[in-house]
A and B are shown apart, each in its own frame.
Chain A
Amino acid sequence: MRFLETFFNGAVMAKYLPDLLSAIVTTLWLSAVILVLGLSLGLALACLRSLGRWYLTLPIVAFADIGRALPPLVVILICYFGLPGLGISLSGPMVLILVLAAVLAAFAEEIFWAGLTAVPKGQWEAGRATGLGFARTLFEIALPQAIRMGIPPLVNRALAITKMTALGSVIGVKEILSVSSSAQSFSGSATPLTMAALAYLAIFLPAVLLSRLLERRYSWAV
């Protein structure tokens, strides 16, 4: 009974459910924006890197390495509390989106690039020998194969990054964790945190299952 009282208190649940629902919506749209921005930026960077120009490769590699090395929380705090000193004031959600999208882009670039380098040279030669230009060969032949190879690590990375929306709680973004942890301090009950955990499961478990479908759809025998 004590267990239920602590983690599944009905009265507390009822009280904070509306807040939590709107927090779920916030987490969902933040995640969606971060995924779209991060993955497309990562893909674009990998494509630019495939041109093999040092003045493109150098900054891209630097961006990817730094983005993967820094803890996102550090960057979030610097942007949120530091940038206003330069006269640049960004809202909490804006900082969260920009930083997490950039971090995702850094990882995604490396994953797409690894896929591109794993496409056999003969695939490029077959494309070019049939009169396809560099861009056509990249988009029609090399990228589909690179993306397919990258899907399992990309899915893992995408899940890890979207879960990091919880970092928004330190800069006042009204997402699931921040809403439930403030509910916890107001109510003195751990129940809102249980609700947060359940909300995360409700979002991410289907995402994990969906990713399995995706992996199967994009697989072909080699």
Chain B
Amino acid sequence: MTAPAPVHQRPMLEINRLEKRFGETEVLKSIDLRVAPGELVFVIGPSGSGKSTMLRCCNRLEEPSSGTILLDGEHVTDCRGAALDRMRLKIGMVFQGFHLYPHKSVLGNVMLAQIRALKRPKAEAKARAMEMLEHVGLAHKADAMPAELSGGQQQRVAIARALALDPKVMLFDEPTSALDPELVGSVLKVMRQLRDEGMTMLVVSHEMGFAREAADRVVFMDGGVVVEAGPPGAIFGNPQSDRLKSFLARVSKAAE
């Protein structure tokens, strides 16, 4: 277990008073969240609670209505155009639906942004891609097309694709929700490995077992606000708010 981050340390990811409105609907109401370097923060909450929107604001796939987001002390929210593209290189993202490029091989998927965005020489990009594929246990699939892989394998390739850019933080948006149950384990294993290597991670997921075991901190969101946050033991073992209690009750009922 990594110890909770010391208070004086600068957070790797810092979300301040983040708000997001879609027309009249307030999806996020002043979210504050800090993720220390090497910390794994797990975000749970009912669907529609705004957790995915918050995650997508962190790399500006969703444009915040107000508030600031800082990555390692640098403003993400101020970036425009090419500066935003450069900023996004430092923020890895893994999607629920994998979104591998179907017209490129596994290797091509992991190499593309290295060459086109990071401007790595091709040979170096290839070496890095193979290293990352090795890391997620899929080096032997380098020449396969995405459609030939299982969902779990596709998601691991997507993780390798993000890692190959050497991001400072990894965002996971329900990475196992689209997977068959027997394939979830392989993806969680890679995530646990990343955590052990000290990657800073912000994870939106319904895998409560994984949160309990691997998260440094769990954040419970509901109705666009952070209702409760704390170590997994406290959140799952001693929930304070009624909303969290009833959410956990619903989740455990569904799991039965």
Residues of A within 8 A of B (CB): 120, 122-123, 125-133, 136, 140-141, 144-145, 148, 220-222
Residues of B within 8 A of A (CB): 59, 61, 81-82, 85-86, 88-89, 91, 93, 95, 97, 99-103, 112-113, 116-118, 145, 147-148, 158, 161-162, 165
Indicate which residue in B88, B103, B116 contacts A129 across the interface (CB closer than 8 Å).
B88
Cβ of B59 and Cβ of A148 under 8 Å apart?
no
Would you give the shortest CB distance from B117 to chain A, in whole angstroms? 4
Asked if A220 meets B161 with Cβ closer than 8 Å, knowing A130-B89, A131-B117, A148-B103, the reply is no
Would you give the shortest CB distance from B67 to chain A, in whole angstroms? 20
A126 to B145 Cα, complex, angstroms = 17
Closest to B115 in A: A140
Cβ of A132 and Cβ of B99 under 8 Å apart?
no
Sample of 11 further A-B pairs with CB below 8 A, known A128-B61, A136-B117: A120-B97, A122-B97, A123-B101, A125-B99, A126-B95, A126-B101, A130-B89, A133-B117, A140-B112, A220-B147, A221-B145
Cβ of B103 and Cβ of A130 under 8 Å apart?
no
Cβ of A130 and Cβ of B99 under 8 Å apart?
no
Cβ of B145 and Cβ of A130 under 8 Å apart?
no
Cβ of B95 and Cβ of A145 under 8 Å apart?
no
Cβ of B113 and Cβ of A131 under 8 Å apart?
yes
Closest to A143 in B: B103
A130: B residues at CB distance < 8 A: 88-89, 112-113, 117, 161-162, 165
Cβ of B113 and Cβ of A125 under 8 Å apart?
no
Cβ of A132 and Cβ of B116 under 8 Å apart?
yes
Cβ of A136 and Cβ of B99 under 8 Å apart?
no
Closest to A144 in B: B103
B88: A residues at CB distance < 8 A: 128-131
Asked if A145 meets B165 with Cβ closer than 8 Å, knowing A132-B116, A133-B82, the reply is no
B101: A residues at CB distance < 8 A: 123, 126, 141, 145
Cβ of A122 and Cβ of B86 under 8 Å apart?
no
A123 to B103 Cα, complex, angstroms = 11
Would you give the shortest CB distance from A134 to chain B, in whole angstroms? 9
Would you give the shortest CB distance from B137 to chain A, in whole angstroms? 21
Cβ of A125 and Cβ of B61 under 8 Å apart?
yes
A133: B residues at CB distance < 8 A: 81-82, 85, 117
